[in-house]
Structure 1
Amino acid sequence: MQKRALIIIGVIVLIVIAIGGTFLYLQKSQIPLVNVQNSNTQTADWKTYTNAEYGFEFKYPPGYEVTDLEKKDFFIVRAAGDVSRENPAYPYLTIEFLSESYLKVLEVEQQKSPQEINNIVIGNVSSKEFLYSSEMGNTFQEIIIPKNNQAIRISSSKGGLLDPLLSTFKFIK
């Protein structure tokens, strides 16, 4: 009789462990982690922009330009397409080195009520992506990257050439 009770208790313990393990696995798999991968064939003929002072680089396609601006407490790099194109919402990319802490910048972004928040990897650093839509239906993204207790914000329109451009972004120091 005792042997049978031990078997029943053992089976119950195994069932509880299996249910608990399944629950933990499902909880963990609900957090999407997007890792932007570089497609070498698509970016093979692209130019490389390197900024040694701030320690980053990325590639950008022919026909685009990069402009450096220093203003107050942030640094901006813009990669912009031909503004004479019919679509006024041409792709762009801005990189801002912010003096605020990473957590403070995340808090501000969350207060803007984004449509979607994703975990993303940029330059081998776990970051947050916030997606917003305009009234015209265009999608914009804000990516917040932690760096030395501060934050880097990458802003861009979503899609098109920008996904492969972001896949080439990396820190060099």
Structure 2
Amino acid sequence: MSEHKHFLNKKFIVTFIVLALLGSGAYAGIWYWGNQKYSFKDMNPVFTPRPDPTADWKTYTNTQYGFEFKYPQTWAKVSSASYADGTPHLIIYTDMYPAQDYDARVDVYLDNLKSVQDSNPLFKGSIGSLTIINNVSWVKYQVKGLNGNLLDGFDYLTEHNAKTYDIGASAITANQILSTFKFTGASVSPLPVAGNGILMGHADVGSICPVQQSGVACTPSPQANMARQVGVFTQAGALVSSQHLDANGNYQFSLVPGIYTIKASGMQVDRLSVTKGTVTIKVGQTTTLNFSIDTGIR
């Protein structure tokens, strides 16, 4: 009888321990999942505004001809001048000791765009491509050498208030000007292009830091953005138009209706080698294509 009672006591103790372990395990599980639920519930994403990479740039303003643009503080000199025929222009030096007479120029012709295109040997007989940068429509020409070869220089022409504005520079320098160029005063609007549609978007350029730390934003510099290109191609693979991103990583094209393939430069900034998508352009409509560009830098 005593042995049987002792056995029951042992059985009771074992059962009690098992139940206690199960109870504590269940409590721990409820506590854990309760905390997990609480943590997930309280994890609200924090969105920080994209910093303006041109915030510390200087501003050049021309009140006589109604335009302004921003430029890096590292640029050496921006000065007004005029040609022998009286055409006003702006001379820009990005370096203190430039390799040539100037690094960029802004000419103002007191005539309409067609007259300038027909009379200037730089543009006469050439076919320019239409591009929109910072809400201003430009006709883009690539500069040719004496033997007809293409150089790393471009002229961007636009008409405003019966005057033609011509910005000439290398690709990166021109885009530094164009990305913030705007007309001031009354009647400010881009050139209307009848029958076209708009393609626009933003490219996130990265990674551009040696090490990207979790939770720390890695903002590309204006130069990193403007070194990258976006190109518009026909379905057959022919290049229709191309441009560099502006200082904020934005781009915009005015295109005739059709289906186009969009490519961008990646690790090789001078090659439009990475396909970003296919778009259909319709008359009077705006199509948006945003994408990322991996520079390969880690």
Same-fold call, TM > 0.5?
yes
Give me the whole-angstrom Cα distance separating, in 1, the residues matched to 2:183 and 2:140: 18
* Cα offset, 1:133, TM superposition: 4.0
- The aligned counterpart of 2:157 is 144
Secondary structure of 2:52's aligned partner: helix
**Conservation of the 8 A alpha-carbon contact between 2:167 and 2:174:** no
Moved beyond 6 Å, runs of 4+: none
Q: In 2 relative to 1, CA 148–61 (structure 1 residues): closer, same or farther, beyond 3 Å? A: same
- The aligned counterpart of 2:275 is none
Higher helix share: 1
Give me the whole-angstrom Cα distance separating, in 2, the residues matched to 1:138 and 1:90: 17
- The aligned counterpart of 1:54 is 65
Q: In 2 relative to 1, CA 110–79 (structure 1 residues): closer, same or farther, beyond 3 Å? A: closer
- The aligned counterpart of 1:78 is 91
Give me the whole-angstrom Cα distance separating, in 2, the residues matched to 1:138 and 1:97: 23
TM-score (norm 2): 0.38
* Cα offset, 1:54, TM superposition: 1.2
- Are 2:135 and 1:124 equivalent residues in the alignment? yes
AA of the residue aligned to 2:156: I
* Cα offset, 1:122, TM superposition: 4.5
- Which structure's CA Rg is the greater one? 2
Q: In 2 relative to 1, CA 73–164 (structure 1 residues): closer, same or farther, beyond 3 Å? A: same
Q: Runs of 5+ in structure 2 lacking a partner?
A: 1-49, 186-298
Give me the whole-angstrom Cα distance separating, in 2, the residues matched to 1:105 and 1:61: 30
* Cα offset, 1:95, TM superposition: 1.1
- Structure 1 residues 22-171: aligned runs within 5 Å: 41-64=52-75, 65-71=77-83, 72-84=85-97, 88=99, 92-107=103-118, 108=120, 109-111=122-124, 113=126, 117-122=128-133, 124-134=135-145, 138-159=151-172, 161-171=173-183
Give me the whole-angstrom Cα distance separating, in 2, the residues matched to 1:57 and 1:128: 19
* Cα offset, 1:40, TM superposition: 6.2
Residues 27-78 of structure 1, C-alpha deviations (whole Å, 9 max, x = no match): xxxxxxxxxxxx9633221101111111111111122121011444321112
Deviates more, 1:129-138 or 1:102-111: 129-138
AA of the residue aligned to 1:63: T
**Conservation of the 8 A alpha-carbon contact between 1:139 and 1:157:** yes
- The aligned counterpart of 2:218 is none
Give me the whole-angstrom Cα distance separating, in 2, the residues matched to 1:60 and 1:119: 24
Q: CA RMSD in A?
A: 2.9
Give me the whole-angstrom Cα distance separating, in 1, the residues matched to 2:152 and 2:51: 25
* Cα offset, 1:168, TM superposition: 0.5
**Conservation of the 8 A alpha-carbon contact between 1:67 and 1:77:** yes
Q: In 2 relative to 1, CA 151–93 (structure 1 residues): closer, same or farther, beyond 3 Å? A: same
TM-score (norm 1): 0.62
**Conservation of the 8 A alpha-carbon contact between 2:108 and 2:164:** yes
**Conservation of the 8 A alpha-carbon contact between 1:91 and 1:157:** no
Number of residue pairs the alignment of both structures matches: 130
Query: Whose relative contact order is higher, 1 or 2, with alpha carbons under 8 Å and at least 6 apart?
Result: 1
